[in-house]
Amino acid sequence: MKAEVDQDESTGCELRIDTCPDVFEMVGDMAVSKQGEVPSGAEESCMQAAEDCPVEAIKIDT
């Protein structure tokens, strides 16, 4: 499973970092994916972060 943040859609909110800090981090005022592959055990929280994103900026590739 891979997770990416669409920077054109992202508003820079920190909700995804609160929900899934194993996958997402803030770089300046932008939220980004730390790595392409979602670590084992973080899949559920990553999917939750994508569902909770108010602008649907998180793209999941399974």
pLDDT in tens, 19-35: 999 999 999 999 999 98
Contacts (Cβ under 8 Å, ≥6 apart) of 10: 30, 31, 55, 57
In the predicted structure, residue 62 carries a pLDDT above the cut 90: no
CATH number of 2-61: 3.30.70.20
Domain ranges for the chain = 2-61
In the predicted structure, residue 15 carries a pLDDT above the cut 90: yes
Look up tokens 């790595």; give the residue.
35
Q: Distance between CA atoms of 38 and 11, rounded to whole angstroms?
A: 22
